[in-house]
Amino acid sequence: MKKDVEVYLKEKRIFSPSKELVENSNVKKWMDKQNIKDYDALLKKSQDIEWFWGEVAKDLISIGDYEKVLDWKLPYAKWFTGAKYNIVQDALDRHKDSDKIAYIFEGEPGEVENTTYKQLYGEVCKLANALKELGVKKGERVGIYLPMIVQLPVAMLACAKIGAIHSVVFSGFSAKAFQDRMIDCEAKVVITCDSFYRNGKTVPLKKQTDEALEKVDCVEKVIVYQRTKEEVSWNKNKDLWWHDFVEKQEMECETEKTDANDTLFFLYTSGTTGKPKGIIHAHAGYALGISLTLKWVFDLKENDVWWCAADIGWITGHSYIVYAPLILGVTSLMYEGAPVCPQPDRWWELIAKHKVSVLYTSPTAIRLFTRYGEEYPQKHDLSSLRLLGSVGEPINPEAWMWYYKYIGNEKCQIMDTWWQTETGSHVIAPLPITDLKPGSATKPLPGFSAAIFNEKGKEVENGGGNLVLLKPWPGMLRGIYKEPERYQKTYWDQFKNVYSAGDIARQDKDGYFWIQGRSDDVLSVAGHRVGNSEIESALVSHPSVAEAAVIGKPHPIKGESITAYVIVKKGIKLNDALKEELRNHVAEEIGKIVKPQEVLFVSDLPKTRSGKIMRRIIKAKALGEEVGDLSTLANPEAVEEIGNAK
């Protein structure tokens, strides 16, 4: 039996929201309507999940008549059973005559194009009609391999409109990764583009698509959008130009009547630890979960300009660039290119230029910007910002503070959100009425229920262990495509009747959750189980460090010894004295038991294309083992540096 996870890092700073933010927040207005007096009362009352989700649905989605809010037969949930519902009704159709801007698009070269809701409706209908002309029917799959351009949400909405199931593959993935996913989902049609702009270069996406489809028999046609107008190879029997085939279609298309629990999309997890999982999400529950969490967590209002700076190829983009903002009728900024192209202030320039009011990004991006220093954001007027957000992994307290100080100008609360591809929406996150602790995602949102379990399946109320979800929630996955046994084993077999997230976390005396990373990343040092992220947070709190990754190496006495791979900030000199300083800094911050045995300097760390540091690959390389498939890495060249680090 494994020992429970121990906790060392303590964070005592608290940041309270302003009275103005609290009083004007969407959640406070709803609480007043329901006569709920405070945050704790809201969390308690919302544990009547059927009442709560049924009540909030009235304000958010046009669900119509249904038999039951929730039909729960472990491990499968159905929401709003008996109802007919298509997410496009709320994300598109109800805004069809609106001249409000849905997307402000800026390409990496600098061109800007605004798309209104009315225009978006017309473009979606044209593509939906084109898909119907190709024989795509309700329930059939369409593969989408597009960059961050407006045609990507158009493609997703067009599929949903006719009841087809879309499977988006991140445009940064290799041809092989795209191929595997298309074979698994049995796509009938693929939508891609000629090429796109990234880091000052063009990426030949059509070429990669052709390479991928050489061994994919199920795909009958490929629709190609012309983004860069670069020359591409052409198969006249299979390929169709968007500007020829789609543009001639009618700008009206009836929305398919789907069941509330029909499948909306498959989204494959990255597959860095094995065969990718085709996560299934359905129409109604997903629509409700994402729209409520976006409205309450980020408090979006009529005049906000929302920028979720993720990629639509991930669940963050599906939920919070496409479907939820459109359901709420929000204006979103969409940027095609790299964060630091052509200069490290590109993002801050975009915020000032487009008057972005709410920014949602990853700790990886924040740590990247800290390496360049605060002089870049200070060149621009960021006063339009009123709220900030974090997603994708635990945020180090010092990265949190940099974000708060230099991007939010010490006036913007930071909504640190924990969730997964599988959960569909935020699960643990603050609200605008919540006191914040840097590095903590705070408490489960209203309507959600989470806990920490030890290895024996007993709840830990003040300490570390396995993060579990105790009750069903609307945006939850509906299974893994074609793999029901894997679904059961992965999420439901570890602890009886509860969802195992696969993350470790701790809960403090105030009930705040602190995510510590994946359960398979836990270190075992001299009989103590410690989360990697605690040690990494301690390292990043040193003024010289921008990023860090920590792994365990076999040790004859301790079980594992700790090795830290460190990226320093610009201008810092590398020497043995700094290594010793960093080792001692960790000992002072969280204890001698987790003092790294060695500190090695690198210029980069292997990361997935969503920005997560791949400790598994770092460890394999460091131990001279087979590192496996690197196709999902953004920077495979960083793997070699691990082996040569000093």
Contacts of 369 (CB under 8 A, 6+ apart): 339, 344, 347, 376, 377, 402
CB contact burial 507-517 (16+ within 10 A = b; e otherwise): bbeeebbbbbb
Reported as a pLDDT band with limits 50, 70 and 90, residue 125 is very high
The amino acid that residue 255 corresponds to is T
pLDDT higher than 80, residue 625: yes
Contact 105, 334 (CB under 8 A): yes
Burial of 9 (0-12, 13-18, 19+ CB in 10 A): buried
Nearest to 185, CA basis, from 263, 266, 261, 281:
266
Contact 248, 241 (CB under 8 A): no
CA distance 162 to 255: 6
Mean pLDDT of the chain: 93
CA distance 25 to 22: 5
Domains and CATH numbers, the chain: 14-70+84-88+282-470+485-517 (3.40.50.12780), 522-644 (3.30.300.30)
Between the CA of residue 491 and those of 90, 451, 501, 608, what are the distances in Å? Answer: 31, 15, 7, 22
Order of strands across the sheet that contains 513-518: 450-453, 463-469, 499-507, 513-518
For the stretch 174-192, pLDDT in tens is 888 899 999 999 999 999 9
Contact 181, 219 (CB under 8 A): no
For the stretch 533-565, pLDDT in tens is 778 888 998 999 999 999 888 877 667 889 999
Contacts of 484 (CB under 8 A, 6+ apart): none
The amino acid that residue 596 corresponds to is P
Instruction: Find the mean pLDDT for residues 143-150.
Output: 98
For the stretch 571-609, pLDDT in tens is 999 999 999 999 999 888 777 778 899 999 999 998 876
Contacts of 526 (CB under 8 A, 6+ apart): 557, 558, 559, 593
pLDDT value at residue 4: 59
H-helix segments, 531-596: 532-540, 576-590
Quickly tell me which residue has 């605690």 as its tokens. 534
pLDDT value at residue 6: 55
For the stretch 494-506, pLDDT in tens is 998 899 999 989 9
Reported as a pLDDT band with limits 50, 70 and 90, residue 379 is very high
CA distance 217 to 145: 17
